[in-house]
Amino acid sequence: MSEQIYLSSPDVTEAEEEAVLRAIRSGWVAPLGPEVDAFEAELADFCGREHAVALSSGTAALHLGLLILGVGPGDLVATSTMTFAATANAITYTGAEPLFVDCDETGNLDPALLDKAFGEVAGSVRRIAAVVPVDLFGKVADHPAIAAVADAHGVPVLSDAAESLGAVRDGLSSAAYGLAAAVSFNGNKVMTTSGGGALLTDDAGIAERARYLATQARQPVVHYEHTDIGYNYRLSNILAALGRAQLARLPEMIERRRGHRLAYRELFAGVPGVTVFGEPSGADGPGGGTRDNFWLTSVLVEPAVAGFAAEDLRLALAADNIEARPLWKPMHLQPVFAGVRSVLNGTSERLFEVGLSLPSGSALTELEVGRVHSAIGSFLEVRRAAV
């Protein structure tokens, strides 16, 4: 059996090794240090934000962001149902309840349905305390339209940009939208610090409050004094050094993933019933004002036309030890969130049924790319012969 090819493996080079070694030899192996300070400054500059707070995960960034926006027990938080569980989990950490809103054809939160959600809650004893749009698979949501709805109801937006670092919409970084934005450096993202994340904002008060809460809410006195419940959410100096090296390589890694997207488009061109999810951004030139970060390339398979289902293709790739996964199972279908209020149009359920993400990592070798394409080509040949 050939070695496993994963969906999105970390892309680590000598540059990252040297950065980690530099941090260790400096003696700063604690959660704070010069690498953290430099990483925060470089990340904020990359994203076009005034402030970045480096944290232990993207989930921690969402949690702190919601707390700082005043979300608490009894509140509702409107968010996309088409997302990873971390978004909804962070909402529940605050004692609030998610209000799931379905997506449009891009997979991102539908602004019209968001407006409908506000209408359905109006007049009840509960309030929507925040809106958390999610940039699905690195494609930036329609933040201007979402902000217009949220602003009309006087509700702040916390952007979940965990999947979209490096993506842009109308020339703005994905992390530049919302009162604050959360990004992730988990091991399967385009860039990683193994685990990690950050909260980005232009509001100095939000950044200061996030650092305070993330450091066990310790008061600035010589002894240990606490007046609030805090969290152990800060990123270590060693991981920040890793993040700096990864951030410097982020454009290069995005371009490699973009190459995979374009190659998949060519591979599936002319295959009836199969489309590459995320078009047309995959074909945008480098100077385009709206591009996703190509975190994952997925295909949508209409079985009645293609003659096979996405699951058939997944099983064929698994037989060759190649990982592929369905799109996120919508949160309103998850047993843990059964009975949670939702505003739906059926789009997320359809995307979950027909969608399949393919190996997309920038660390894929030419040999691995060849194996993936060969496996897909063989699968398609067998299906054509069976027609």
Domain coordinates in residue numbering, the chain? 14-246, 250-385
- Whether the predicted pLDDT of 34 surpasses 90: yes
Cβ count near 342 (within 10 Å): 19
Whole-prediction pTM: 0.96
- Whether the predicted pLDDT of 335 surpasses 70: yes
Averaged pLDDT for residues 295-306? 97
The confidence score (pLDDT) of residue 211 equals 97
The confidence score (pLDDT) of residue 32 equals 84
Q: If pLDDT is split at 50, 70 and 90, which confidence band does 265 have? A: very high
The confidence score (pLDDT) of residue 363 equals 97
Distance separating alpha carbons of residues 131 and 67, to the nearest angstrom: 13
Distance separating alpha carbons of residues 21 and 26, to the nearest angstrom: 8
Q: What is the DSSP letter of 157?
A: B
Quick check: is 139 catalytic? no
- Whether the predicted pLDDT of 1 surpasses 80: no
What is the CATH code of the structural domain delimited by 250-385?
A: 3.90.1150.10
The confidence score (pLDDT) of residue 386 equals 76
The confidence score (pLDDT) of residue 282 equals 54
Distance separating alpha carbons of residues 292 and 277, to the nearest angstrom: 12
Q: In whole angstroms, how far apart are CA 355 and each of 86, 162, 240, 275, 303? A: 20, 20, 35, 10, 11
The confidence score (pLDDT) of residue 383 equals 86
Active-site residue among 116, 139, 189, 329? 189
The confidence score (pLDDT) of residue 290 equals 86
- Whether the predicted pLDDT of 81 surpasses 80: yes
Distance separating alpha carbons of residues 381 and 208, to the nearest angstrom: 58
The confidence score (pLDDT) of residue 371 equals 98
Distance separating alpha carbons of residues 276 and 133, to the nearest angstrom: 23
Q: If pLDDT is split at 50, 70 and 90, which confidence band does 384 have? A: confident
Strands (DSSP E) found in the chain: 51-55, 76-80, 97-101, 128-132, 158-160, 168-169, 172-173, 180-184, 197-201, 274-277, 297-301, 325-326, 342-343, 355-358
The confidence score (pLDDT) of residue 139 equals 94
CATH-assigned architecture of domain 14-246: 3-Layer(aba) Sandwich (3.40)
Cβ count near 213 (within 10 Å): 20
- Answer left, alpha or beta for residue 359, where phi above 0 means left and psi between -120 and 50 means alpha: beta
The confidence score (pLDDT) of residue 281 equals 52
Distance separating alpha carbons of residues 50 and 43, to the nearest angstrom: 10
